[in-house]
């Protein structure tokens, strides 16, 4: 990550933050889920290139306004070509993921059919399940793809928002750098073991999750399968309900000065963000809470610490708009104008 930032500065004089983070995050998730990473994202015909195309096509399809969702009567015609594109994507994902599952099976059959405890990746975990919990191949592909798909852009988007805030608030950036220097020193790279000792860094991540939650509507829509009472409201079975987390985290009845970016509010009060405190539940809560929340939160903190330990992040003065905090809601809440800034070596 640090090396890629330096190369980008040497080559272009600026860093296109989202692009860099997207590939890093895709590789990070691939490592945990499939046990492999790729360095051929830009090479036509390579596995990394195909994977990146599949992920991008999935995000694009989910971001398109589909008229058939709102007027089912026209769905038969598929005039936007959505059904055709989805079918095509599903068959390419099936081929790609099935090949990886088969490679795992072959590797395991050379051993005794299992992996050692603590060894292996998420495919191994699924293959290790006992007979009665075993997944069909179709279900296994769906679970694995969901992890890759949901785990890639959320991390990249959150970190892009954080870096935008670092550029906009140099005093906050300097305070986090001072904390890192104090705890880690400058003789060694920051590691995940340092994270519990970096409370201000953690407060910056929490504050960004509050102001710019990547999943502002959580999983968008839920269907009530029973009549349910929520506070004073009766929600009848069959209702489609949405949770507007963005609105909760910007509500001045809940948060003092909600529009102000102020990590210190999390230094003054311990606020749990993993789903037990509904004032800030950026990973959702309950049965369908994000299964990657611990991994996502830790990854973002570690990468942020590395980026701040090595560079001072400043605006690209040749870009007139500099940092633009306008939002764009696709599958996640993204920056409308991707962040392009400079990283000055420390
Ligand atoms: C900062 C990073 C992340 C954020 C902000 C985030 C946020 C969310 C949110 C809001 C949901 C919906 C929860 C609900 O509807 O109640 C969700 C679901 C999900 N997330 Fe994450 N996530 C992140 C990282 C990850 C990672 C790293 C992975 C996997 C490696 C992952 C995998 C998933 C999956 C599979 C679901 C669907 C769960 C289900 O439908 O039951 N997420 N995430």
Both tokens of 196, joined, read: 């519990």
Give the atom of ligand 1 at the shortest distance from the alpha carbon of 286.
Answer: 16
Q: By alpha-carbon position, which residue is closest to atom 21 of ligand 1?
A: 290
Is there a contact between 283 and 289 (Cβ–Cβ < 8 Å)? yes
Cα 238 to ligand 1 centre (Å): 24
Enclosing H/E stretch for 261: none
Both tokens of 116, joined, read: 């050692």
E-assigned strands of the chain? 15-16, 222-223, 228-230, 233-235, 240-241, 311-315, 327-329, 333-335, 340-345
Instruction: Decide whether any atom of ligand 1 lies within 6 Å of the 143 Cβ.
Output: no
Instruction: Decide whether any atom of ligand 1 lies within 6 Å of the 158 Cβ.
Output: yes
CA 11 to chain centre: 27
Nearest-angstrom CA–CA distance, 143 and 159: 25
pLDDT digit string (tens) for the chain, length 346 residues? 899 999 999 999 999 999 999 989 999 999 988 888 887 776 777 788 888 899 889 988 887 888 888 888 888 888 888 999 999 999 999 999 999 999 999 888 877 666 655 568 899 989 888 777 788 889 999 999 999 889 999 999 999 999 999 999 999 999 999 999 999 987 899 999 999 999 999 999 999 999 999 999 998 888 999 999 988 999 999 999 899 999 999 999 999 999 999 999 999 899 999 999 999 999 999 888 999 999 999 999 999 999 999 999 999 987 665 799 999 988 899 999 999 999 999 9
Nearest-angstrom CA–CA distance, 57 and 39: 20
Show the 3-state SS of 157-211: HHHHHHHHHHHHCHHHHHHHHHHHHHHHCCCCCCCHHHHHHCHHHHHHHHHHHHH
β-strands 233-235, 240-241: how paired? unpaired
* pLDDT the model gives residue 115: 61
What is the Cα Rg of the chain in Å? 22
Is there a contact between 179 and 203 (Cβ–Cβ < 8 Å)? no
Cα 105 to ligand 1 centre (Å): 27
Longest dimension (CA), the chain: 65
Cα 284 to ligand 1 centre (Å): 8
86 is in an annotated binding site: no
Looking at the predicted complex, does its ipTM rise above 0.85?
Answer: yes
Nearest-angstrom CA–CA distance, 185 and 194: 11
Is there a contact between 202 and 301 (Cβ–Cβ < 8 Å)? yes
Q: By alpha-carbon position, which residue is closest to atom 16 of ligand 1?
A: 284
CA atoms within 13 A on the CB side of 71: 7
Strand partners, 345: 311
Instruction: Decide whether any atom of ligand 1 lies within 6 Å of the 333 Cβ.
Output: no
Nearest-angstrom CA–CA distance, 235 and 224: 7
Strand partners, 15: 341
């Amino acid at each position: 990550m640090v090396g890629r930032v330096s190369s980008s500065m040497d080559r272009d004089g600026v860093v296109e933050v989202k692009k860099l983070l997207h590939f890093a995050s895709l590789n990070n998730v691939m490592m945990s889920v499939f046990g492999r990473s790729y360095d051929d994202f830009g090479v036509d015909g390579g596995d990394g290139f195909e994977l990146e195309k599949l992920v991008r096509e999935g995000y694009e399809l989910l971001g398109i306004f589909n008229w058939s969702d709102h007027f089912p009567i026209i769905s038969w015609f598929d005039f936007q070509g959505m059904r055709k594109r989805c079918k095509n994507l599903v068959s390419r994902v099936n081929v790609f993921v099935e090949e990886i599952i088969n490679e795992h099976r072959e590797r395991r059959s050379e051993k005794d059919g299992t992996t050692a405890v603590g060894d292996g990746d998420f495919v191994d975990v699924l293959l290790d399940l006992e007979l009665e919990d075993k997944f069909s191949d179709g279900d296994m592909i769906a679970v694995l793809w969901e992890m890759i798909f949901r785990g890639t852009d959320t991390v990249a988007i959150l970190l892009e928002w954080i870096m935008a805030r670092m550029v906009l608030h140099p005093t906050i950036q300097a305070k986090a750098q001072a904390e890192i220097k104090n705890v880690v020193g400058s003789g060694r790279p920051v590691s995940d073991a340092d994270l519990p000792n970096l409370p201000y860094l953690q407060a910056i991540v929490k504050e960004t999750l509050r102001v710019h939650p990547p999943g502002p509507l959580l999983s968008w829509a839920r269907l009530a399968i029973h009549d349910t009472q929520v506070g004073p409201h009766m929600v009848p079975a069959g209702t489609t309900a949405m949770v507007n987390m963005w609105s909760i985290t910007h509500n001045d009845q809940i948060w003092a000065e909600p529009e102000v970016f102020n990590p210190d509010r999390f230094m003054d009060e311990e606020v749990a963000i993993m789903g037990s405190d509904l004032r800030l539940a950026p990973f959702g809560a309950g049965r369908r809470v994000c299964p990657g929340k611990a991994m996502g939160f830790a990854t973002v903190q570690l990468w942020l610490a590395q980026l701040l330990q090595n560079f001072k992040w400043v605006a690209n003065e040749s870009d007139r708009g500099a940092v633009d905090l306008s939002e764009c809601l696709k599958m996640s809440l993204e920056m409308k104008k991707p962040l392009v800034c400079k990283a000055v070596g420390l």
